[in-house]
Amino acid sequence: MAVDVVQEIKLRTDLVELISVYVPLRRSGRTHKGLCPFHAEKTPSFHVDGERGFFRCYGCGVGGDCFTFLQQKEGLAFNEAGEMLARRLGLEWVRRGDTAEKRSERERLYDMMALAQRFFRERLKDAPVAQKYLERRGLAPETVEAFGLGYAPPGYQALLGWLKGQKIAPEEAEAADLILRGEHGLRDRFVDRLMFPIFDLEGRPVAFGGRALQADAIPKYLNSRELPIFHKGRTLYGLHVAKQEIPKSGFAVAVEGYMDVIALHQAGIVNAVASLGTAITEQHVGVLRRYSDELVFCYDGDSAGMRAATKNSSLFEAAGCNVRVARLPEGDDPDTFVQKHGADAFRSLLTQAEPLLDYQLNTLRAGYDLTDETKRLGFVREAARIVAQSSSSLTRQAYAAKLERTLEMMVDEWYPGQPDQAQRARLALNQEVRRLLRSDGGAPAGGGHPTNGRVMGRGPTTSGPRVQPPAPVRSGQGAEERYVLRAALSEDRWADRVSEQLTVAHFSDSNLVGVAAKLLSEEGDAAGSAPQRADAVKADPELAGVVSELLMDEAPLNDEGLDRCLEGLERAWKRSRKLELWRAYNAGEFLPEDPRREELRRLSAELEGRQRREA
Ligand code: GTP
Ligand code: MN
């Protein structure tokens, strides 16, 4: 089984030896110590626990196991690190979760894609029209080569016939979505199209985007469907190259199209990637974050992609990702811009990129006719809503102040030579900003919007049940969350209890939510028993940092402690839920028959009863 290979690698890899290749380590008690290879420091705060296979830096906070170490140090994907570690030990690497069958299915898909890429590339050589097209679009032959571009010939039978000649079963190509089975039998899926292979992190072609050569063809791009080796929500075009550059330049550039990525790379801007015609997802952000937590969007301002990015802006904040937006002149995309004005001009657009929140506010303002008195309030409301989406109370305060300053300046323009009226308007608008931020932000003393990592944008609250009631962080709660997770990860019976009594909604510490989500996931029976899920959490490379930190904490655990923490978390959840319901109620969101009325009554009664007993 695949997980066993992971475990065996962890067990048998000598972490001290592995890390010593990068940085000298010295024994210090039970563990080893050295200068952190992930940040510059003069006194060693990097610890390696060789016995237990964990490392952690108390300076910069990185931590994990042999997998995480290689992934972060070498910029590898989990499977690449696995392959490398397995080789060192003379083991065969099997991709996690693969059965023998699935493995061969995937292997066959990889082979088919590689074969098809060769085919398309060869065909480009005999296709002067396609070559001219690429030339007209300013792509140098080396660029075409580097991105493996190709051409799918016309005629509906080109690939099919070639496969026949190669004695390859068409079913193989059908499984890879390269051949279609229709009423009239089999035919090529990509016909008379320029072919953009889409590579995975390891640089293997896993799908294709096919662009029509005619300007008015529909669809302009035809993309492979989802396949076991290709997931649109996770794949970023160009990342197999950009992953080297992103950590060096300190940020990634997100653009919309294949052509944008290619043109930028050709111009020497090698940290650009594109999602595949879909909005940036939480998973994309998770992948990008491995390389940098700074992201610059360079999208068409009117595009669906940009709208999705601004609508889900809290997604980035939740992931700890800092997003800025670079504006292009009307009518340009990164491709046309860089071809016209060159790399330096593009770089200066990047340096001028504004923080996402500023971008949202500026865009909003441009959309309102603020000379119209009745529209002003609408603007203020909408602006406050945007600001209130931020989970950081510092950010909210800073932007509320900024908004007030902006309004003050505008007011002077609206009422030239009428200081009294200007003053009245100023007060009214500022009051409105504060009122809105208070009621929407609703931050109970020192709290803030919870970012439990899963609530994607608050959006306009609708009635109807919320799947993820947020839980405002209150002091001490983080400690309880840690305690229960440490318990669940260390003993099976505690894992059972925790998963019986808690849901993800009980967790508010953004560092821990990922662990809780996996441990408490209720994805059918497939997820297995709680102890099994706890093992899965420990084997999850994405969570290795937090998990190692939790496991290295040696404070004692016991049943009484767990009871106390479970009770505390339940109470905290009820309080925050009650608060949330009150907020919705006060905002007039409850319908007459709303079931939340009953829930609110019940919660209030329970919590009051409890307080009385406590008193
Ligand atoms: P060019 O017009 O060749 O410059 O393409 P582009 O790279 O600028 O792409 P564009 O900005 O028009 O679209 C962005 C991305 O959306 C493309 O790279 C595709 O991934 C996707 N896309 C665009 N048009 C279509 C379409 O008609 N169908 C599908 N499935 N995806 C599309
Ligand atoms: Mn374009």
Q: Could you read off the pLDDT of 173-222 as tens digits, one per residue?
A: 999 999 999 888 999 999 999 999 999 988 899 999 999 999 888 899 99
**Residue 382 within any structural domain of the chain:** yes
One domain, residues 337 and 426: no
Long-range contact set of residues 79-85: C-beta below 8 Å, sequence gap at least 24: 79/202, 80/201, 80/202, 81/541, 82/5, 82/6, 82/9, 85/9, 85/13
Per the CB < 8 A criterion, the answer to whether 228 and 109 are in contact is: yes
Q: CB of 258 closer than 6 A to ligand 1?
A: yes
Does the CA dihedral 490-492-497-501 come out positive or negative? positive
One domain, residues 333 and 280: yes
Quick one: pLDDT at residue 196?
A: 98
One domain, residues 586 and 489: yes
Cα distance between the two ends of the chain: 55
One domain, residues 494 and 571: yes
Rounded Cα gap, residues 612 and 615, in angstroms: 5
**Residue 114 within any structural domain of the chain:** yes
Span from the CA of 335 to the centroid of ligand 2 (angstroms): 6
The ligand 1 atom nearest the CA atom of 275: 20
One domain, residues 54 and 129: no
Q: CB of 211 closer than 6 A to ligand 1?
A: yes
Q: Nearest 5°: CA angle at 49, between 45 and 51?
A: 170
One domain, residues 338 and 384: no
One domain, residues 335 and 258: yes
Per the CB < 8 A criterion, the answer to whether 416 and 473 are in contact is: no
Using DSSP's 3-state secondary structure scheme, residue 505 falls into: helix
| Radius of gyration of the chain from its Cα atoms, rounded to whole angstroms | 28
Q: CB of 327 closer than 6 A to ligand 1?
A: no
**Residue 40 within any structural domain of the chain:** yes
One domain, residues 116 and 177: yes
> Which residue's alpha carbon is nearest to atom 22 within ligand 1?
277
CATH for 330: 3.40.1360.10
Q: In this structure, which ligand is nearest to the CA of 276?
A: 1
Quick one: pLDDT at residue 342?
A: 96
Interaxial angle between packed helices 510-519 and 492-501, expressed in degrees from 0 to 180 and rounded to the nearest 10:
100
One domain, residues 328 and 412: no
Quick one: pLDDT at residue 522?
A: 64
Span from the CA of 210 to the centroid of ligand 1 (angstroms): 10
Question: Which of the listed residues 223, 250, 278 is the one where a domain comes to its end?
Answer: 223
**Residue 48 within any structural domain of the chain:** yes
Per the CB < 8 A criterion, the answer to whether 112 and 228 are in contact is: no
Q: CB of 95 closer than 6 A to ligand 1?
A: no
**Residue 417 within any structural domain of the chain:** yes
Q: HSE on the CB side for 356, CA within 13 Å?
A: 25
Q: CB of 277 closer than 6 A to ligand 1?
A: yes
Amino acid identity for residue 437 in this structure: L
Quick one: pLDDT at residue 465?
A: 34
Residue written as token pair 């019976």: 493
Strand partners, 150: 195
Taking 70 as the pLDDT cut, the residues of the chain under it are 1-3, 96-98, 103, 439-477, 522-527, 583, 586-588, 608-615
Taking alpha carbons only, the member of 325, 334, 212 closest to residue 263 is 334
Q: In this structure, which ligand is nearest to the CA of 298?
A: 1
Question: Which of the listed residues 331, 360, 389 is the one where a domain comes to its end?
Answer: 360
Rounded Cα gap, residues 414 and 75, in angstroms: 54
Q: Nearest 5°: CA angle at 509, between 615 and 62?
A: 140
Q: In this structure, which ligand is nearest to the CA of 137?
A: 1
> Which residue's alpha carbon is nearest to atom 9 within ligand 1?
257
H and E: helices and strands count for the chain: 27, 16
Q: CB of 261 closer than 6 A to ligand 1?
A: no
Q: Are strands 54-57 and 63-64 parallel, antiparallel or unpaired?
A: antiparallel
Quick one: pLDDT at residue 473?
A: 38
Best mutation site among 198, 221, 265, 278 for ligand 1, i.e. most ligand atoms within 8 A of its Cβ?
221
DSSP one-letter string for 443-466: --TT------S------S--SS--
Quick one: pLDDT at residue 97?
A: 65
Does the CA dihedral 173-178-182-187 come out positive or negative? negative
Amino acid identity for residue 187 in this structure: R
Span from the CA of 329 to the centroid of ligand 1 (angstroms): 19
CATH for 117: 3.90.980.10
Question: Which of the listed residues 333, 360, 387 is the one where a domain comes to its end?
Answer: 360
Q: CB of 346 closer than 6 A to ligand 1?
A: no
**Residue 472 within any structural domain of the chain:** no
Q: CB of 276 closer than 6 A to ligand 1?
A: yes
**Residue 78 within any structural domain of the chain:** yes
Locate 460 and state its tokens. Answer: 């306009």
**Residue 450 within any structural domain of the chain:** no
One domain, residues 380 and 355: no
Quick one: pLDDT at residue 440?
A: 47
Taking alpha carbons only, the member of 596, 559, 555 closest to residue 578 is 596
Quick one: pLDDT at residue 195?
A: 98
Quick one: pLDDT at residue 181?
A: 95
One domain, residues 348 and 431: no
Q: Is the preceding peptide bond at 219 cis, omega within 30 degrees of 0?
A: yes
One domain, residues 214 and 138: yes
Q: CB of 210 closer than 6 A to ligand 1?
A: no
**Total domain count, the chain:** 5
Q: Which residues span the domain enclosing 552?
A: 477-614
Taking only the tens place, the pLDDT of each residue in 97-106 is: 667 777 678 8
Q: CB of 257 closer than 6 A to ligand 1?
A: yes
